[in-house]
Amino acid sequence: MIENLLDSLKNRIENDNSIFDSVNSGNDFEKYVIQNLDELKMSRNDFEFKHNGPHSFPDLTIKFPDGYLFGLEIKFSSSGNWYSKGNSVFETHSNKENDEELAYKEIYILFGRKPKPKENKTNCEIRYSTYSNSIKKIEVTHSPRFAVNMSTDQKDIFSIINPEDTYLKFRVKSTSEKTEFIKNYFSKLTKSNNQDKWYVTNEEDTQIKPMNFSKLNNAEKSKILAESFILFPYDLFQKIGDYSEVGANMITRHFVYSTSLRDSFSAGGKTQIFDNIYIRYPKILNTFREKQEDIKNLLNNPQDNLEEICFSTWESRLGDSPLLKIDKSLSLLENYSNIILNLKPEMEIECIHSKEKSIKKIDLSLFWSIS
């Protein structure tokens, strides 16, 4: 019955092109869904619903004549992806979950996505699923949160950890039981080396410690370095690189820190990169050159909300630059290449023969292949 209602809701929304004028945020979309549920209720009169209030999880409670209650969480993406942060792993469930007559039979998620401009689509797209099936990973910033991804057939984390488990069963567990679940999650879904894991200190202490960058495996290190070059070329390519935003991004997106961040990009100062050019360049340019395939892979296959973060970060740095404009109808790789080929940062170089040092504008196309 609930999926029949969600099918009706999906069809109404996907056939209403006016949504592009009225919906631009998650709050707008939530109000829009409630409006459509009100209209459906008048026409079919086989369900009731209520809004659970600001910051509640799930957003809505839907009740059918048989007395069953269903939760509905509403998510929206204005940037064209199917990814969203979910609720806290350590969500405190309400008292009604202990009352079988008032407990949810199931919690669903309804996800609305505005297509990207380059897709040339004229309608909003809707996907729905049980909340359990939509949760593909746990992310850690200040506290562990579920991450929702509607674009992958990857198994949900509950069925991987315990095939008998679901989010409904998980949410009523004790704090110590949830902590044990997180330990099992990182044990099963991260690398075999214990140093590659975030971890929980003990069952009474639910604080999760950030991981030292130096203890990640090479693949994870390379991915984070590549992402840093993507997001912060204006900070990294300078006479003296600014690593403040890079470090902040490592903590907030990956929960990783470094006590010697500069060394990861440019340890050793300068180096001769090209045999036929007798100049020592800052080593960060060689790191950039070595990581360009990882950079391109991330740009061509952005995970989670990386595409949204790229456009937001680039636009904030470019401002009203007359030379560079971000064009969302182009791919991430095309936009990034445009930035790199027009950046021309001033950096210090050294002549190998004379040892003379000077500040020159660097043509980054020497270190970046478009193909």
> Does residue 206 form part of some domain?
no
Angle at 87 between CA 315 and CA 143, to 5 degrees: 80
- How many distinct helices (H) and strands (E) make up the chain? 15, 16
Cis before 117? omega within 30? no
**Mean pLDDT of the region 220-224:** 92
Percent of the chain that is helix, strand, coil (3-state, to 5) = 45, 20, 35
Q: Rounded distance, CA 195 to CA 217, Å?
A: 8
In sequence order, the 6+-apart residues with CB closer than 8 A to the CB of 251 are 141, 210, 257
Residue 320 is predicted with a pLDDT of: 59
Question: Which SS3 state, helix, strand or coil, does residue 172 take?
Answer: coil
Residue tagged 């990882």 (tokens): 294
Domain boundary among 133, 150, 167: 150
pLDDT of 276 over the 90 cut:
no
Phi first, then psi, for residue 106 (nearest 5°) are -165, 155
Angle at 211 between CA 208 and CA 217, to 5 degrees: 140
Verify that 242 and 353 share a domain, yes or no: yes
Beta bridge partners of 74: 110
Residue 192 is predicted with a pLDDT of: 44
**Mean pLDDT of the region 300-318:** 86
Domain boundary among 150, 166, 186: 150
Indicate the pTM of the whole model.
0.69
Sign of the torsion angle spanned by Cα atoms 352, 357, 358, 363: positive
| Least confident stretch, 92-101, 126-135, 166-175 | 92-101
Q: Give percent of the chain above pLDDT 90.
A: 41
Verify that 146 and 219 share a domain, yes or no: no
DSSP 213-273: GGGS-HHHHHHHHHHHHHH-HHHHSSSS---HHHHHHHHHHH-EE-SSHHHHHHTTSEEE-
> Residue 51 is part of a domain; what is its CATH number?
3.40.1350
- Find, among 143, 169, 131, the residue nearest to 90 by Cα: 143
Burial annotation 157-187 (CB, 10 A radius, 16+ → b, else e) = bbeebeeebbbbebbeeeeeebbebbeebbe
pLDDT tens digit sequence for 17-43: 888 778 888 899 999 999 999 999 998
Phi first, then psi, for residue 183 (nearest 5°) are -60, -45
> Does residue 171 form part of some domain?
no
pLDDT tens digit sequence for 330-367: 889 999 999 999 989 999 999 998 999 999 999 999 99
pLDDT tens digit sequence for 94-130: 655 656 556 899 999 999 998 877 777 878 899 999 9
Q: Rounded distance, CA 206 to CA 307, Å?
A: 31
Angle at 302 between CA 7 and CA 289, to 5 degrees: 175
Burial annotation 77-116 (CB, 10 A radius, 16+ → b, else e) = bbbbbbbbebbebeeeeeeeeeeeeebbebbbbbbbbbbb
Verify that 7 and 96 share a domain, yes or no: yes
Q: How do strand 125-130 and strand 104-113 relate by DSSP bridges?
A: antiparallel
> Does residue 233 form part of some domain?
yes
pLDDT of 255 over the 60 cut:
yes
Beta bridge partners of 125: 113
Verify that 263 and 123 share a domain, yes or no: no
> Does residue 44 form part of some domain?
yes
> Does residue 156 form part of some domain?
no
In sequence order, the 6+-apart residues with CB closer than 8 A to the CB of 166 are 130, 132, 158
> Does residue 190 form part of some domain?
no
What crossing angle do the helices spanning 306-318 and 218-231 adopt, rounded to 10°?
A: 40
Question: Which SS3 state, helix, strand or coil, does residue 43 take?
Answer: helix
In sequence order, the 6+-apart residues with CB closer than 8 A to the CB of 100 are none
* Total number of domains constituting the chain: 2
Residue 75 is predicted with a pLDDT of: 94
> Does residue 166 form part of some domain?
no
Domain ranges, residue 305: 215-366
Q: Rounded distance, CA 24 to CA 280, Å?
A: 49
DSSP 316-350: HHHTT-SS----TTS-HHHHHHHHHHHH--EEEEE
Domain boundary among 98, 118, 150: 150
